[in-house]
Amino acid sequence: MAKRDSEKQGADSPSQLIDQRIEELGDWRGEMLSRIRTLIKEVDPDVVEEWKWRGVPVWYHAGMICTGETYKSAVKVTFAKGASLDDASGLFNSSLEGNTRRAIDFHEGEAVDEKAFKALVHAAIALNTSKK
């Protein structure tokens, strides 16, 4: 069985690596990633955190929920099955052309619609668990 990315990097757990990334960023992106993480954990306190693709936080519950990538001018939260989720509040603003994924790009100074974001996380978990 192949080792997970986090296991290859040493003793740090995925959660510790995410903590380190937030601290390393040290700016609005770290704050945003931390806020997103908190919201996900409020929806699902038992969510599984992973560290994939050489530095991307990923959250799982019965399958992938979403990733949290950081770029120079955005924090991108990509929902693995976003195209199948009801986005009544219109949060998805990126990766709209695909058949599967959908993403939300958060930029400096933008507020998170916490209720709508949590609804997407709930919907992603419901979709994942309905397939089992």
**Three-state helix/strand/coil letters over the chain:** CCCCHHHHCCCCCHHHHHHHHHHHHCCHHHHHHHHHHHHHHHHCCCCEEEEECCCEEEEECCCEEEEEEECCCCEEEEECCHHHCCCCCCCCCECCCCCCCEEEEECCCCCCCHHHHHHHHHHHHHHHHHCC
Domain assignment present for 6: no
Domain assignment present for 81: yes
Q: Is the pTM above the cut of 0.85? A: yes
Return the minimum-mean-pLDDT range out of 104-108, 122-126, 128-132: 128-132
The mean pLDDT of 98-112, rounded to a whole number, is 95
Q: So what's the pLDDT on residue 132? A: 55
Domain assignment present for 38: yes
Q: What is the domain count for the chain? A: 1
Q: So what's the pLDDT on residue 109? A: 96
For position 99, which CATH number holds? 3.90.1150.200
Per-residue pLDDT tens over the stretch 8-59: 445 689 999 999 999 999 999 999 999 999 999 999 999 999 999 888 999 9
Domain assignment present for 5: no
Domain assignment present for 4: no
Q: Domain range holding 40?
A: 11-130
Domain assignment present for 1: no
